[in-house]
């Protein structure tokens, strides 16, 4: 659905199958082919409609098509904006803003977000363990092409969570957020999941559990076009039991 927002896509799906059907019986959704903003809004939609328990399935790629040179979007970024359903009421004071970014392969998207929030303290979540042995190194090679400063020795600015476990991602985000908050005031918090789809799911779980009603948003760099074939082969399949 070109030109449609994440809400448009999810609402069209819900209308097609009926909202009542989503609220009855056992719900299982395969998120493998969904875009990250669609996954985020879908979780928020279910949350708002009282669907608090459901499963999500994700199948890993065997590897990315062009290794560290894989592009997931063209480099024409239309905007960096809040994901619908994850918009915070932000403070005019911006002196202690933080940007927690889930680092992925697409250096153009990473650079655009970093530049858009250049006044915020950048905290980088790296996917380790990665989906496969070579993917962590490939993502670091991509990160080296961005305008962000990556130094694995900056313990307070870099932390890790598995690429395929949204529950550990949510837990690590919670711990990092509380750690930063313990050092002083946070004016505004921006979250940006740019790695795997399970990571995006983890960001949604963390936000819904701890950040509703705070000056916090999940933001995303929306590109004009996205590549369709970025992976080769099929890896492991995971089933996540979600309880909001």
In a domain, residue 1? The reply is no
Domain containing 46: what range? 6-66+230-243
Query: Could you state, in chain order, the average pLDDT of each consecutive group of 10 residues for the chain (244 residues)?
Result: 82 85 83 95 95 94 58 71 96 95 85 93 86 53 52 70 96 98 96 96 99 98 70 82 96
Question: Does residue 79 share a domain with residue 32?
Answer: no
- pLDDT value for 178: 97
Report the CATH number at residue 206: 3.40.50
What is the pLDDT at residue 78? 85
Residue 239 lies in a domain: yes
Cα 22 from Cα 93, distance rounded (Å): 41
Q: How many CB atoms lie within 10 A of CB 168?
A: 16
Looking at the fold, whether 123 and 194 belong to one and the same domain comes out as: yes
Instruction: Give the total number of structural domains in the chain.
Output: 2
d(CA 4, CA 78): 13
Contact predicate 106/66, CB 8 Å: no
Tell me, yes or no, whether 96 and 211 share the same domain: yes
Asked whether residue 105 falls in the same domain as residue 45, the answer is no
Cα–Cα distances (Å) from 128 to 36, 44, 51, 53, 188, in that order, read 19, 26, 31, 27, 27
Is 22 inside a domain boundary?
yes
Q: Are strands 216-223 and 77-82 parallel, antiparallel or unpaired?
A: antiparallel
């Amino acid at each position: 659905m070109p030109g449609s927002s994440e809400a448009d896509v999810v609402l069209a799906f819900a209308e097609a199958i009926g909202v009542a059907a989503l609220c009855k019986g056992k719900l299982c959704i395969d998120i493998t082919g969904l875009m990250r903003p669609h996954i985020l809004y879908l979780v928020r939609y279910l949350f708002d409609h009282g669907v608090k328990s459901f499963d999500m399935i994700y199948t890993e790629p065997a590897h990315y098509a062009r290794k560290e040179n894989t592009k997931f979007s063209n480099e024409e970024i239309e905007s960096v904006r809040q994901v619908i359903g994850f918009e915070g009421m932000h403070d005019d004071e911006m002196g202690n803003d933080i940007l927690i970014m889930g680092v992925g392969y697409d250096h153009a998207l990473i650079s655009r977000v970093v530049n858009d929030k250049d006044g915020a303290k950048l905290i980088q979540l790296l996917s380790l363990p990665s989906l496969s042995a070579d993917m962590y190194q490939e993502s670091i090679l991509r990160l080296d092409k961005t305008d962000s400063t990556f130094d694995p020795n900056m313990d307070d600015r870099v932390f890790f969570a598995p690429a395929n476990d949204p529950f550990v991602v949510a837990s690590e985000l919670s711990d990092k957020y509380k750690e930063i908050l313990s050092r002083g005031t946070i004016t505004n918090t921006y979250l940006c999941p740019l790695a795997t789809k399970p990571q995006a799911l983890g960001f949604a779980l963390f936000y819904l559990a701890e950040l509703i009603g705070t000056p916090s948003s999940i933001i995303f760099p929306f590109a004009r076009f996205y590549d369709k074939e970025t992976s080769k082969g099929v890896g492991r399949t995971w089933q996540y039991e979600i309880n909001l």
